[in-house]
Amino acid sequence: MGDDFADWWWAAARDCDRILSGNRPVSLRERLQAMSESPFDLNTRAHIYDGGLVTTLEERVASLLGKPAAVVFPTGTMAQQVALRCWAERSDNMTVALHPLSHLEVHERKAFTTLTGLRGLWPTREPRQPTAAEIRDLDEPFGTMLLELPLRDAGYLLPTWDELVAIVEAARERGARVHFDGARLWETTSHLGQDLPTIAGLADSVYVSFYKTLGGISGSAVAGPADFVAQARAWRHRYGGNVAQHWPAALAALAGLDTELPRLDSYVAHAAVVAGALAGLPGARVTPSPPHTHQFQLWLPHPAASLTDAAFTLAAEEKIWFAGQWVDMPPTGLAMTEVTVAGPALMLSADDVAAAGAAFLARVPAISGGLARARARAGPQDLSAGASGSSGAQLGDFGAAPQEEQAQPDHREQQGERAADDEGEVPPRHGHGAGNGRDPVSAAE
């Protein structure tokens, strides 16, 4: 898949009138046009390194999270390594308690270990958030506890507020610092029932992303005490993170804070409507149910290649983007994708979602991989004819997907790489549990 899938999705979803998962993809020109209409004064000089829009963004993030200071980073991988390194230096302990499904363990080529020299300690292997007892009973000392909120690879799972307070208190009892991987912290307030400063106030430091939920170009920030942020800023320089002109990413991030952040509660509320409708599809499983944020996993009893083909066929024939980049999840016999309820989905009622789901399943091809190969040869503009059989490539012209094609998503995760789908990341092959630690099949029984 990789770039091919991103190109197919970009062309297909842009042409759709209704989008269930994600946002309508934009062109470079559209992105630049939107940035040029920013309310900020653009008739000024471009600041080098810090200052200007970058400083404005740092102050905005610190205020939103109720922290004394914040520092912008070009990537989340760098930001979290620096944050954990700073706490390790202060605690004189390089061990970090974190979940084995955390982003650092799964998606970053073990950079926190191989580059920064930290060591992970797992409180549980279950696909859920750790419990306070599991943190308290860890049999080794640890200097920092990292909590990913929500835990994406397990299904965007959050603890309850009381559970989160107890987990943090358990870490404190062990003498550890607390760091939140809050790449998607912005959308946790509804489920936790608290505002951002109250949630962030539980942690010593918090990392947030500007592109995952807010729709920015790139970038992230770490917020915490002023002396800690000063130390993190120094380590950012050592890690090569002083970008000469970071203002384009800062401008896009500020736009996301102004436009997307106020809408997140409505996305989360509507995700429950969307998930409920999808759960009624034949053989469907939704994890978690109801969703904890505006993102959740959808599982269906069909091969991933067939479901991906159906998504493109539906887009071509009905101008509906359902959800793409499905991944087979052995040994369940199901395939999974991640659904992101954003602005376009707010226009869809439960009946609309159910109808789109039925139309999607009606287009699941009998032979997996046929349209994927037809797309590679003919291009997205020829999908409709090829799918209907009236012209172009026919499904019967192609056999099953080759083994290397089927295995590629897992290979990308092992290498820490992610293809761009409608949610921006490759759906995980690991996160298969509901909040009770069971997979969707057994959880539904």
Same-domain check for residues 233 and 87: yes
Q: Are residues 306 and 366 in the same domain?
A: yes
Residue 384: per-residue pLDDT: 33
- Domain shared by 192 and 326, yes or no: no
- Are 131 and 272 in the same domain? no
CATH code for position 291: 3.90.1150.10
Domain span including residue 55: 47-244
**One-letter-per-residue 3-state SS of the chain:** CCHHHHHHHHHHHHCCCEECCCCCCCCHHHHHHHHHCCCCCCCCCCCCCCCHHHHHHHHHHHHHHCCCEEEEECCHHHHHHHHHHHHHHHHCCCEEECCCCCHHHHCCCCHHHHCCCCEEECCCCCCCCCCHHHHHCCCCCCCEEEEECCEHHHCCECCCHHHHHHHHHHHHHCCCEEEEEECCHHHCHHHHCCCHHHHHCCCCEEEEECCCCCCCCCCEEEEECHHHHHHHHHHHHHCCCCCCCCHHHHHHHHHHHHHCHHHHHHHHHHHHHHHHHHCCCCCCEEECCCCCCCEEEEEECCCHHHHHHHHHHHHHHHCEECCCCCEEECCCCEEEEEEECCHHHHHCCHHHHHHHHHHHHCCCCCCCCHHHHHHHHHCHHHHHHHHHCCCCCCHHHCCCCCHHHHHHHHHHHHCCCCCCCCCCCCCCCCCCCCCCCCCHHHHCC
- Residue at which a domain ends, from 244, 273, 294: 244
Closest CA to 319 of 16, 9, 14, 11: 16
**Same domain for 235 and 316?**
no
297 and 388 together in one domain:
yes
Per-residue model confidence as pLDDT tens for the chain (445 residues)? 557 888 888 999 999 999 999 999 999 999 999 998 888 888 887 888 888 999 999 999 999 999 999 999 999 999 999 999 999 999 999 999 999 999 999 999 999 999 999 999 999 999 999 999 999 999 999 999 999 999 999 999 999 999 999 999 999 999 999 999 999 999 999 999 999 999 999 999 999 999 999 999 999 999 999 999 999 999 999 999 999 989 999 999 999 999 999 999 999 999 999 999 999 999 999 999 999 999 999 999 999 999 999 999 999 999 999 998 899 999 999 999 999 999 999 999 999 999 999 999 999 976 444 444 344 334 433 333 333 332 222 222 212 222 222 333 332 332 232 333 333 344 444 433 333 332 332 233 2
Residues 121 and 234 in one domain: yes
Which among 299, 272, 277 has a CA at the least distance from the CA of 286? 299
The reply to whether 30 falls in a domain is no
Same domain for 97 and 209, yes or no, is yes
* Domain CATH number, residue 92: 3.40.640.10
Same domain, 218 and 281: no
> Do the beta carbons of residue 311 and residue 323 sit within 8 Å?
yes
Does 32 reside within a domain?
Answer: no
Same domain? 21 vs 108 = no
At residue 366, the pLDDT reads 60
Does residue 367 form part of some domain? yes
* Residue 348 belongs to some domain of the structure: yes
Q: Which of 332, 346, 280, 259 is nearest to 301 (CA)?
A: 332
Same domain, 117 and 179: yes
Q: Are residues 215 and 323 both part of a single domain?
A: no
Q: How many domains are there within the chain?
A: 2
